[in-house]
Chain A
Amino acid sequence: MAFNYEQYLRPGKLPHIWCPGCGHGIVLKGLLRAMDACHLDKDRTAVVSGIGCASRLPGYVDFNTLHTAHGRAAAFATGIKLARPEMTVLVVGGDGDGVAIGGNHFIHACRRNIDMTYVLCNNYIYGMTGGQFSPCTPMGDKASTTPYGNPDPTFDIAKLAIGAGATFVARTTAFHATQIDKLIAEGIRHKGMSVIEVLDDCPTAFGRRNKFRSVVEMMKRFKETAVPAATAAKMSAEELQGKIVTGILHREERPEYCEQYQQVIDRARGA
């Protein structure tokens, strides 16, 4: 039966601003299904973003929503969560926002292991400003600011998050629609910093410049190159060249930041 997205969408806000075929809408729907599966209380849930196409997501959803400045979402979210640990805090944003201008806030939120769920839509490009390369644009690919091919190496966001200390890290793609909500729901249920990277398609600013004839072709590329983590574990580095490892990539239990700070309060009060 049709999923009732309307119960979580603010009335009158659709159609959204995203381009035809943009995967952000698919991520938004996955996010809402995940929030539904976790029975989140709208009043006690905050959805925070930075700047960019993906960061427009909070405007559509009926929660406490905060569209902050470029790159700052994780830091605003940290303030919300620490001030009100009883709230569920989600962050949504893109690759440029999250790991370029917001990279410092991102890694330190991971390091603190503060209980929030960061859904990072990685579409390899700055879409809103018209297609400049991001730290996730593959080497050699074209962007408006890499007209001769991108000379910059890329970030592996999942490895970055794991290295920085996030305790739940997962990856999927805009093609794997049902996996999006399952992984986000796992992330929400996980106590600590959860990072879910969704490899996303930007047909307008990335696809057209990089010889993708259609959004469907971009989706099929995700389908063909995705390898589940369990399968990837049995593959060699050569075999994994050009593949996208999907699923839960890392999960550990480690003290959560707000709980640690509660201990600070207890010590300060001499408990």
Chain B
Amino acid sequence: MAKKVALLQGNEASAYGALYAGCRFFGGYPITPSTEVAEVMAVELPKVGGKFIQMEDEIGAMASILGASLTGAKVLTASSGPGMSLKQELIGYACIAEIPCVIVNVMRGGPSTGMPTGPSQSDIMQARWGTHGDHPTIALVPASCQEIFTETVRAFNLAEIYRMPVQVLLDEINGHMRERIELPEPGELEVLDRAAPSVPPEQYLPFDPSVGDVPPLAAFGSGYRFHVTGLNKAPDGFPTTRAELVDAEERRQLRKIEAARDLIEKNEEYLLDDAEVAVIAFGTISRSARHAVNALREQGIKAGLFRPITLWPFPERRVAELAKQVKGMLVPEMNLGQLVLEVERVVKGACSVSSLTRVDGEPITPDQIMEQIREVC
């Protein structure tokens, strides 16, 4: 049977991916360059009985999806630039209260209003550390429109299974770029739902560590009455300042991701088997990097591409292994050098690490990557 195909923008693809995953609630606020995500959801959600709401501000948008998620709905919001700065408050709430939600961040230049119509990859450290306090992070960085669709589906699966916010980081280029997409049939991609409590309401503890690192989340209105707070809490959900409970709770939240790295991490490795130089690139810039690697190979330079698709948690083990194999790594990114810090941290001097940055609103080109690799080699 012929596949259903569509010509979709990255932003649109993320919205359709969300719908495929079963998203039934979107709370948003208009901001360039992410607005198309909201516009598609406004059209499509009511058709499937879902709810779309344009809130009064970015924080309200984030709050609305967390409220909706607590009733059991799969929820989405999308934003960019200063909107993401505003959302950090309640991303932290979603972390501590362990409320599943997906946030699409179509990255633009910054700080502040920056360059609303210009691409950027400068929110990757914000994605990891933007909200205050310690917390786990999952962030996915698809490169193509097809992958934006499938990775948005995966983002929902991860949010629901690990009971936490998951960010999908696009940028102005792949968010607005149109590509042919093969639309998966229902059932073709895995769609996962959050676990339901296995105990009756009177025994339910919303943060019970004895049932595992991801305790099931009951839905408001389902007969399980429980308390949710942004304060540090005991397994029963009520606030506590007891040192051992706070410590155990914070460590469990990090552990639930650290222990599941193998299930969450996802990378593409391209021509790395015999590579002497590895380009570490993600999202839009990984496309320039792939082009550069192909061209360098034609010139006899053994280059390869390591492309994280899950950016957080960062693929530490694999990058460290790679550092022992290659002579050097190049990290091209549309910011002033963020990912390179993580690569250097992981590589620990095992190979040379070179940084290529650009923040003028234009993408890093294959030529730039090739030129810098020739200098390194």
Residues in B32-72 with C-beta less than 8 Å from chain A:
43, 46-47, 49, 51, 53, 55-57, 59-60, 63-71
- Give which listed residue, A44, A62, A80, A107, contacts B68 with CB less than 8 A: A80
Which one of B70, B93, B223 has the greatest number of beta carbons of chain A within 10 Å?
Answer: B70
Give chain A residues whose Cβ lies under 8 Å from the Cβ of B223.
43
Tell me the minimal C-beta distance from A178 to chain B in angstroms: 28
Which one of B63, B66, B221 has the greatest number of beta carbons of chain A within 10 Å?
Answer: B63
The closest CB in chain B to the CB of A87 belongs to: B221
Tell me if A34 counts as interface (CB < 8 A to partner B). no
Stretch at the interface among A24-32, A226-234, A263-271: A263-271
Tell me the minimal C-beta distance from B213 to chain A in angstroms: 23
Give chain B residues whose Cβ lies under 8 Å from the Cβ of A77.
67
Tell me if A83 counts as interface (CB < 8 A to partner B). yes
A-B contact pairs, 20 of them (CB 8 A): A10-B227, A13-B238, A43-B223, A46-B220, A65-B226, A65-B228, A66-B70, A67-B227, A68-B63, A69-B63, A69-B89, A69-B90, A75-B63, A79-B25, A79-B53, A79-B66, A80-B67, A82-B64, A82-B68, A87-B221
Residues in A74-101 with C-beta less than 8 Å from chain B:
75-84, 86-87
Tell me if A42 counts as interface (CB < 8 A to partner B). yes
Residues in A37-62 with C-beta less than 8 Å from chain B:
42-44, 46, 48, 51, 58-59, 62
Interface of A is mostly: helix
Give chain B residues whose Cβ lies under 8 Å from the Cβ of A133.
none
Which one of B46, B47, B57, B73 has the greatest number of beta carbons of chain A within 10 Å?
Answer: B46
- Give which listed residue, A42, A51, A59, A108, contacts B225 with CB less than 8 A: A42
Give chain A residues whose Cβ lies under 8 Å from the Cβ of B229.
59, 66-67
- Give which listed residue, B25, B46, B51, B225, contacts A63 with CB less than 8 A: B225
Complex CA distance for A62 and B66, rounded to whole angstroms: 21
Tell me the minimal C-beta distance from A146 to chain B in angstroms: 27
Give chain A residues whose Cβ lies under 8 Å from the Cβ of B64.
75-76, 78-79, 82
Q: Is the CB of A83 within 8 A of B46?
A: no
Tell me if A204 counts as interface (CB < 8 A to partner B). no
- Give which listed residue, B43, B51, B93, contacts A68 with CB less than 8 A: B93
Given contacts A67-B227, A67-B231, A82-B25, contact A75 B67 (CB under 8 A): yes
Complex CA distance for A261 and B27, rounded to whole angstroms: 14
Residues in A214-271 with C-beta less than 8 Å from chain B:
261, 264-265, 267-269
Tell me the minimal C-beta distance from A76 to chain B in angstroms: 4
Give chain B residues whose Cβ lies under 8 Å from the Cβ of A48.
67
Give me the 8 closest cross-chain CB pairs, A-B, nearest first. Answer: A79-B67, A75-B63, A268-B46, A79-B64, A83-B68, A108-B56, A75-B60, A76-B67
- Give which listed residue, A64, A69, A105, contacts B220 with CB less than 8 A: A64
Tell me if B239 counts as interface (CB < 8 A to partner A). yes
Tell me if A171 counts as interface (CB < 8 A to partner B). no
Tell me the minimal C-beta distance from B92 to chain A in angstroms: 8
The closest CB in chain A to the CB of B223 belongs to: A43
* Chain A interface size, under 10 / 10 to 19 / 20 to 34 / 35 or more: 35 or more
Complex CA distance for A188 and B99, rounded to whole angstroms: 28
Q: Is the CB of A104 within 8 A of B93?
A: no
Tell me if B361 counts as interface (CB < 8 A to partner A). no
Give chain A residues whose Cβ lies under 8 Å from the Cβ of B43.
268
- Give which listed residue, B63, B222, B226, B231, contacts A76 with CB less than 8 A: B63
Q: Is the CB of B63 within 8 A of A105?
A: yes
Give chain B residues whose Cβ lies under 8 Å from the Cβ of A78.
53, 55, 60, 63-64, 67
Tell me the minimal C-beta distance from A44 to chain B in angstroms: 6
Q: Chain B interface (Cβ within 8 Å of chain A)? A: 24-25, 27, 43, 46-47, 49, 51, 53, 55-57, 59-60, 63-71, 73, 75, 89-90, 93, 220-223, 225-231, 238-239
Tell me the minimal C-beta distance from B15 to chain A in angstroms: 15
The closest CB in chain B to the CB of A73 belongs to: B63
Give chain A residues whose Cβ lies under 8 Å from the Cβ of B90.
69, 72
Q: With A79-B65, A83-B67, A84-B71 given, name 11 new contacts (CB 8 A).
A: A13-B238, A64-B221, A64-B225, A65-B225, A67-B239, A68-B66, A76-B63, A78-B63, A82-B25, A83-B71, A87-B71
Q: Is the CB of A265 within 8 A of B46?
A: yes
Complex CA distance for A80 and B66, rounded to whole angstroms: 8
Q: Is the CB of A105 within 8 A of B89?
A: no
Tell me the minimal C-beta distance from B70 to chain A in angstroms: 7
Complex CA distance for A72 and B56, rounded to whole angstroms: 12
Give chain A residues whose Cβ lies under 8 Å from the Cβ of B47.
268-269
Which one of B51, B223, B226 has the greatest number of beta carbons of chain A within 10 Å?
Answer: B51
Q: Is the CB of B73 within 8 A of A83?
A: yes
Tell me the minimal C-beta distance from A135 to chain B in angstroms: 18
Given contacts A78-B55, A82-B51, A87-B71, contact A44 B66 (CB under 8 A): no
Complex CA distance for A58 and B70, rounded to whole angstroms: 15
Q: Is the CB of B46 within 8 A of A80?
A: no
Given contacts A67-B227, A104-B57, contact A84 B46 (CB under 8 A): no
Q: Is the CB of A43 within 8 A of B68?
A: no
Given contacts A64-B225, A69-B230, A264-B46, contact A84 B220 (CB under 8 A): yes
Give chain B residues whose Cβ lies under 8 Å from the Cβ of A72.
59-60, 63, 89-90, 93
The closest CB in chain A to the CB of B230 belongs to: A69
Tell me the minimal C-beta distance from B372 to chain A in angstroms: 44
Complex CA distance for A83 and B25, rounded to whole angstroms: 7
Q: Is the CB of B56 within 8 A of A104?
A: yes
Q: Is the CB of A83 within 8 A of B51?
A: yes
Residues in A183-220 with C-beta less than 8 Å from chain B:
none
Complex CA distance for A229 and B60, rounded to whole angstroms: 34
The closest CB in chain A to the CB of B225 belongs to: A64
